[in-house]
Structure 1
Amino acid sequence: MAQAGPSNPAKKKGGKGAEPKVKSKKIKKLSEAKAIADLEQSALQFEPPPGLEAFADLPISDLTKRGLKRAYFVKMTDIQAKSLPVSLKGKDVLGAARTGSGKTLAFLIPVLEILYRRKWGPQDGLGALIISPTRELAVQIFDVLRSIGGYHSFSAGLVIGGKNLKDERERLSRMNILVATPGRLLQHMDQTIGFECDNLQMLVLDEADRILDMGFHRTLTALLSHLPKSRQTLLFSATQTESVADLARLSLKDPVRVGIEETVTEGATPKTLEQHYVLCELDKKLDVLWSFIKSHLQTKTLVFMSSCKQVRFVFETFCKMHPGIPLLHLHGKQKQMTRLATFQRFTSMKHAVLFATDIAARGLDFPSVDWVLQVDAPEDAETYIHRVGRTARYESAGKGLLFLMPSEEEGMVAALKKKNIDIQKIKIKASKTQSIANQLQKLAFQDPEIKYLGQRAFVSYLRSVYLQKDKSIFKLDGLPVERFAEALGLPGMPKIKFLSKEMAKAKKNASRAAAEIQAAAARSEPDGSSDEASDSSEDESSGEESSPQKAGEDSSEQKPERVRTKYDRMFERKNQNILSEHYNKLVDHSADTNADGSDDDFITLKRADHDLDDNTTTEHDFISKRKQKMLASKKALAKIGPRGHKLVYDDEGKPHEIYEIKDASEVFKSVDEVKEAGRKFAESERGKLQQADVVDKAEAKEKKREKKRKRKEREREGEMYDSDDDGDVAMGPTVAELSDDDGYVSPEFELPSDSEGSADEQPPSKKAKQNPASTTLEEEEELALKMLRSRR
């Protein structure tokens, strides 16, 4: 009966046992299909009620709701409540909202839902593409995607620069959702075989204004050419600019605008953010920054600077000064793994200071940031909005402090007011500010690396000011550059090459403009009076002599420009005639020689005219060292002819080569003398070889003898082993052990001197005399037998 029970294998394999499972699978698929169809219908017909707040009220799948609940996302923000009902219907969205308002979930939820409702699987390929401007923001989006999409069966990938391209290629063809930066994505589209986007359903452009500001406009245009036109596009940005509007017209079809009116009317920053600015001279910024950090050790602070060199210099110096709070730095010159580690470390820390460039100004979500300090003024109002948006995110509070120089105050405050940003001016107590110039100077003196970083930071800051577009805010002329160099601890102001080039260019343009004005005046007054007046005024202003023009030459005509070398500049130097009169007095130029050709005057100098060969170096044949390196090949040298060579002059002033081969006719008078000289040379060389051969044989014989002596020594030391009563082998003392401090060696182990020779080289009779006790009984018997045989 046990075999007839339900555990019978025959019934398990039979048709009756398998029927319920087959039916359950079919029923499950049908129910899932019906649920997806109902979800699709409810999403298309959904109209948001006035008080919509919870994610659970949206027409989304249970898998997404479970993922949101696990990640503790319950209530929606304003941009989410407005954009999600539209994007879930499959329409294009152009969204704009202040930073920290939750734009990431506003596009991740539609990505999961659209692919789920269309039953997207691994065999369908790439379904959604999310493009982010920076690597850190892409990593953050990918982490949020994994947290809320854990219950879905989609495969997601991250493609950013700084990682192994080969590993990304292998996994790229299996991805359903891809988060990427523009540069690396375009590289895969152009180079990776099998990476296709023909079935793409959704495209998301996050922080679109930042993507365009970073110079990715052409890259985005190329990316859009690879993508199918029948897709849904979601474009989100914190600020709306003309370039973003152009991109929207290019990539979106009949988009629904969400959150734009609110951003314009209410302001681009949240109400929970306190915004202040202080007036601070350039050379006092680091003092104020250090004093602020020392007085806010229990806070989490984010400090923005304009260049990577400044970030690194401030980080390195402040670390050596030990402020009492952890310090971190983040900039674009770091490697990818270092950047990600810094980002994650600062996110998890409770109290820390992060020095960063604008790479951390867009989209990154650093939790619980208390202060955002902008030591260098932002490029524009949009950059200011993104910087202060790292604090006061969602419903939390935060504070922002902007350092402005007196020359920047008027223009920057006016630009912020245009964006409805109310920023209050505060003052810093001088008694609370600590000067660190002496400490930085000491660090620069002790560590050359710190000095080098300070020089780079100095130049990079001035370059950043010079390259800014808004010259009403950023004015390079009025900056106290010398005091700024002292504030960085530098012994002197570094050279600013780009400024010297610009000054030279401006001077050249001014001289051209003056020449054009002079030419126009000359054409207007043909009598030449204006030329004289202009020449005299130019002489008075410049203090230099003007070169007279040739007769009939038009002043407007100019010779074609030629390449100016360092020799041209050397001979055009001013004040070359300071000592010329003195040396002219030493030389009599009245007559080089007398009528008869004799040299009567001792002080008179003559120059001899030498007949130089064609191979001698002239001024036109001169080749610089740099050109010699460039023309290292024989083919390149053949184009300009042979190089010059050095000559020496004899007493008569005739040139000669340094190494000249004498003619045989001058040395030998006949052929017999040549043969005799060759024979003598061969005999002398033969004698030298014989002597060398004798020496070599003697050295070889001495080496062989020394080798034999050392071998005998080792054999003698081996005989010193004897047996104890217990059967253990005891090793006798060596020569080194028997020698005491005075160098004394026991007589029974004394080595023979060089004059006596070794014991092995002496005849047997001498051996016996030296050590008669060394013969044994067996040896005496063998000797007796030999004597008996010889008698027979």
Structure 2
Amino acid sequence: MAPAVTGRTRPTKPKKQARVQKRKRDDVDVEKLEHAVADLDPTAEYKNFTDLPLSEPTKAGLKASHFTTLTDIQAKAIALALKGKNILGAAKTGSGKTLAFLIPVLENLYRAQCIGADAGLGALIISPTRELAIQIFEVLRKIGRKGHLFSAGLMIGGTNLQEQRDALSRMNILVCTPGRILDHLSKTAAFNVGNLRMLVLDEADRILDMGFQRDVDAIVEYLPKDRQTLLFSATQTKKVSDLARLSLSNPEYVSVHESASHATPKTLQQNYIVTPLSDKLDTLWSFIQSSKKSKILVFLSSGKQVRFVYEAFRHLQPGIPLLHLHGRQKQTARLDITSRFSAAKTSCLFATDVVARGLDFPAVDWVVQVDCPEDADTYIHRVGRTARYEREGRAVLFLDPSEEEGMLKRLEHKKVPIERINVKQKKQMSIKNQLQNMCFKDPQLKYLGQKAFISYVKSIHVQKDKEIFKMSELPLEEFAASLGLPGAPRIKFMKGDDAKALKNAPRHGLSSSEDESEAEDTVDGLKGASVLQTKEKSKQDSVRTKYDRMFERRNQDVLADHYAKMIRNDDTQPDETDRLDGEQAEDDDLFTVKRRIEADQVLSDDSDVDSDHQRSENGKHIKKILIPGAKEPLVLDSKRREKLLKSKKKLLKLKDKGTKLVFDDEGNAHPIYEFEGEDQFVAKGAPEEQRRKFLEEETKRVETADLADKEAAREKKRTKREKRKERERLEAEENDDDDGGVTGTEGAEDGFANFLADARPLSDEDEREEPKPKRPKKWFENDKHKEQAKTDRQEPETLEDLEALASGLLG
């Protein structure tokens, strides 16, 4: 018989076996590795990873990732970390600090066989930014994929919190940011860190500063004390207070470049340009035009500046792909931008300091710092995005003339070699007119420019190092013009002490023309308040130019009210949005006065004012309303106070609280809690005697109340019993009527039995006994039906009974 022919031309593949649950490896010679680590000499020089006592899965992962040679920080830090030492590691940017702590994490957990969900969390790696945490996790995945059975997870913000909670209990290694891990430690019940063996802080100086101080202190409270702690950064902290916060005792300080002549890589060429603040965008545009075939990373001080420069340059089309990255973007967009910039050969990325630390972008040619960094450490981290792993790179810093001297001192103190270069005037291009034209046509772009201006001024205002950042010497009016703005936006915190006093002065004091001119001279004479000045326009017989119309134009598309606050002239009439005593101040102002109550507005205690009464004080109308239940009238001196009248809940807070009173037998009122004096207490006798009398009186009162309660209970039971008997009597009468009447004494009520039932004392069984509710009779039911039902339910015993039952059913 011929075999059956099928349609298959290839042999069927065998089915894959079901995945078995991961378990601890039995083929690992842990004792051999332990002896090798114990014999390891941390002072010896190691050149390759094969010289270290590493497990086979780690060696295979390093080989697959093409890591063969040890860097300086890796050669010293890994040996100490394998022996369980606490480490403070400091090395230049791009020197391989990530592997210096990832390899000890894998090896120490491998030797301890900390594998599986039952082992719990073994290592916690904390990073200051999401992008750096993602990068660390990717490196961990690459070197641990060749045989390690650990469960590793990434916990960062911007992702699903519930999915992370479900996976936390299975993690052995966790890479995270401070905010998200603190959320899980405080809110996720199944997250246990009692078995934690290692804590790693990457970019430790940034994590331990004021930005993350509270988060780190709270995280450390959850962690066990007997753990190994590793701290790594390009600019390491040595503060005793920081180390004490982490419970770090006797750490090994590993700094391979501390004795080096430079704090930055030798292959990095560093220069700076002295350019006025108003020419920075022109210089940046000219630089991008001359470096179209390069990979450029541009640092700005705020996210609003990043967005404005990106949108403006995108409209100008420089001929190179543009990207922008800042902290206010969604996590998916940030991941997409970092991956696109990493994969690009030529691109320009505008970014804030969110990418200044730890991120490894391949083959970055230029790092351009348009805005001066806040300190030398930030400068070192920024320029560390290029010239990584002994590659070449170039960095250029834009400095305003007022920032040059102070910043050079800070860089010299940190051993940063930097050389000044000049801009070739032939290649310098100006884009001020183009930006002005774009802002005139696009209100949204103009609004972005105004926000960028305000954010830059704020970033300078909050800087601690006033030797570098001198607000009074910055040409802010010219800087606003370089952004394409018709005038500098209004910034209240820039007015100075004299202007603040002028603003807080009563309005009636500025009614005369002399006072007004005096106020204008005061504002105009302030250094650093140039943002409030506008070009004077004669309002009589003047020609309205295009520039004037642009300046007075009201933005109807994007946040019109906020836009009006930024562009209002000082000589215009104050509107309701700029009142000191009622309205919400604009979001971007620092330390603005929300509401001010003058001393002459305070009402005297004996003032008796009727409702809706108005009076004028110093030219200012004040309205007072007497609320029922309040001792003093409500002063309506602002719109915010007027809104109180619409809220009953807020009006209750203004009313006086009532007092509870009790009345005695004679009708006199007393407080609910009334204390007697010491003399009255002594007159009643000794304390023990008063105590005895009080107990006797209370005992008698309780006994009397108990008797009354028992009598009430008896009465209640008696009433229930009488109702039950009455109901039974009525049912019996109904049954008699249905049977056509009963002769004799069969249906009569037994009076003697009722008497005995009433005379019988009540028992607990009677109290617990409750009559069951009786099912009401149907219209077709009577006692005959009951009798018939009883006979129907009897089982037939003889053949005659069966025949009778069958005939009854049939007929």
* Coarse TM-score class (shorter-chain normalised): 0.5 to 0.7
Change (3 A) 1:440 1:38: same
Structure with the higher fraction of residues in helix conformation: 1
1:633 and 1:165 map into 2 onto residues whose CA distance is: 38
2:200 partner SS? strand
Match of 1:553?
none
Q: How many residue pairs are counted as aligned between the two chains?
A: 522
Alignment of 1:179 onto 2:179: no
Kindly state the Cα deviation for residue 84 of structure 1 after the two structures are TM-superposed: 0.8
Match of 1:144?
139
Alignment of 1:354 onto 2:349: yes
Match of 1:229?
225
1:192 and 1:152 map into 2 onto residues whose CA distance is: 27
1:401 partner SS? strand
1:366 and 1:169 map into 2 onto residues whose CA distance is: 31
Match of 1:552?
none
Change (3 A) 1:569 1:471: closer
1:80 and 1:615 map into 2 onto residues whose CA distance is: 80
Kindly state the Cα deviation for residue 251 of structure 1 after the two structures are TM-superposed: 2.9
Alignment of 1:39 onto 2:50: no
Alignment of 1:364 onto 2:378: no
Change (3 A) 1:242 1:121: closer
Name the amino acid aligned to 2:208. L
Matches within 5 A, 1:66-77: 66-77=60-71
Match of 2:191?
195
Match of 2:624?
621
2:245 and 2:650 map into 1 onto residues whose CA distance is: 55
Q: Is the 8 A contact 2:305 2:456 kept in 1?
A: yes
Match of 2:255?
259
Q: Is the 8 A contact 1:482 1:493 kept in 2?
A: yes
1:414 and 1:451 map into 2 onto residues whose CA distance is: 37
Q: Is the 8 A contact 2:93 2:234 kept in 1?
A: yes
Name the amino acid aligned to 1:42. A
Match of 1:486?
481
2:398 partner SS? strand
Change (3 A) 1:571 1:133: closer
Q: Is the 8 A contact 1:301 1:354 kept in 2?
A: yes
Q: Is the 8 A contact 2:197 2:228 kept in 1?
A: yes
Kindly state the Cα deviation for residue 571 of structure 1 after the two structures are TM-superposed: 12
Matches within 5 A, 1:288-367: 288-367=283-362
1:334 and 1:90 map into 2 onto residues whose CA distance is: 40
Match of 1:6?
none
Alignment of 1:441 onto 2:436: yes
Alignment of 1:455 onto 2:461: no
2:646 partner SS? coil
Match of 1:521?
none
Matches within 5 A, 1:725-736: none
2:317 and 2:62 map into 1 onto residues whose CA distance is: 42
Name the amino acid aligned to 1:109. I
Q: Deviation digits for residues 475-509 of structure 1, max 9, x if unmatched?
A: 00011111111100001111012213655458899
Q: Deviation digits for residues 748-770 of structure 1, max 9, x if unmatched?
A: xxxxxxxxxxxxxxxxxxxxxxx
2:474 and 2:610 map into 1 onto residues whose CA distance is: 59
2:494 partner SS? helix
Kindly state the Cα deviation for residue 253 of structure 1 after the two structures are TM-superposed: 2.4
1:42 partner SS? helix
2:474 partner SS? coil
Kindly state the Cα deviation for residue 322 of structure 1 after the two structures are TM-superposed: 0.6
Match of 1:104?
98
Kindly state the Cα deviation for residue 238 of structure 1 after the two structures are TM-superposed: 1.0
Q: Give unpaired runs (5+ residues) of structure 2.
A: 1-23, 506-517, 523-578, 584-594, 600-608, 616-622, 626-635, 656-811
User: Alignment partner for residue 108 of structure 2, among 114, 120, 125?
Assistant: 114
Kindly state the Cα deviation for residue 259 of structure 1 after the two structures are TM-superposed: 1.4
1:394 partner SS? coil
- Runs of 4+ with deviation above 6 angstroms: 506-510, 566-572, 638-641
**Greater mean deviation of Cα atoms: 625-634 or 227-236:** 625-634
Please give the TM-score of this superposition, normalised by the length of structure 1. Answer: 0.63
Q: Is the 8 A contact 1:264 1:419 kept in 2?
A: no
Q: Deviation digits for residues 138-167 of structure 1, max 9, x if unmatched?
A: 000000000000020000011111111111
2:261 and 2:455 map into 1 onto residues whose CA distance is: 37
Kindly state the Cα deviation for residue 247 of structure 1 after the two structures are TM-superposed: 2.7
Match of 1:210?
206
Match of 1:545?
none
2:471 partner SS? coil
1:571 and 1:175 map into 2 onto residues whose CA distance is: 61
Q: Deviation digits for residues 53-77 of structure 1, max 9, x if unmatched?
A: 1111110001001001111111111
1:478 and 1:484 map into 2 onto residues whose CA distance is: 12
Kindly state the Cα deviation for residue 103 of structure 1 after the two structures are TM-superposed: 0.4
Name the amino acid aligned to 1:427. N
Q: What's the % identity of the aligned pairs?
A: 58
User: Alignment partner for residue 388 of structure 2, among 385, 393, 396?
Assistant: 393
Q: Deviation digits for residues 31-58 of structure 1, max 9, x if unmatched?
A: x34x221011101211268552111111
Match of 2:55?
61
2:121 and 2:339 map into 1 onto residues whose CA distance is: 29
**Greater mean deviation of Cα atoms: 490-499 or 380-389:** 490-499
Name the amino acid aligned to 1:499. M
Q: Is the 8 A contact 1:129 1:200 kept in 2?
A: yes
Q: Deviation digits for residues 603-650 of structure 1, max 9, x if unmatched?
A: xxxxxxxxxx95554334273443333331345457879xxxxxxxxx
Name the amino acid aligned to 1:200. L
2:308 and 2:62 map into 1 onto residues whose CA distance is: 42
Kindly state the Cα deviation for residue 177 of structure 1 after the two structures are TM-superposed: 0.2
Q: Is the 8 A contact 1:131 1:206 kept in 2?
A: yes
User: Alignment partner for residue 406 of structure 2, among 391, 411, 414?
Assistant: 411
Matches within 5 A, 1:524-673: 617-619=613-615, 620-621=623-624, 623=636, 624-634=638-648, 636=650
Q: Deviation digits for residues 232-263 of structure 1, max 9, x if unmatched?
A: 11111111345487236743222111116x32
2:199 partner SS? strand
Match of 1:514?
none
Kindly state the Cα deviation for residue 222 of structure 1 after the two structures are TM-superposed: 1.4
Q: Is the 8 A contact 1:312 1:453 kept in 2?
A: yes
2:25 and 2:448 map into 1 onto residues whose CA distance is: 65
1:414 and 1:238 map into 2 onto residues whose CA distance is: 20
Name the amino acid aligned to 2:327. G
Match of 1:476?
471
Q: Is the 8 A contact 2:582 2:639 kept in 1?
A: no
Q: Is the 8 A contact 2:42 2:80 kept in 1?
A: no
Kindly state the Cα deviation for residue 364 of structure 1 after the two structures are TM-superposed: 0.6
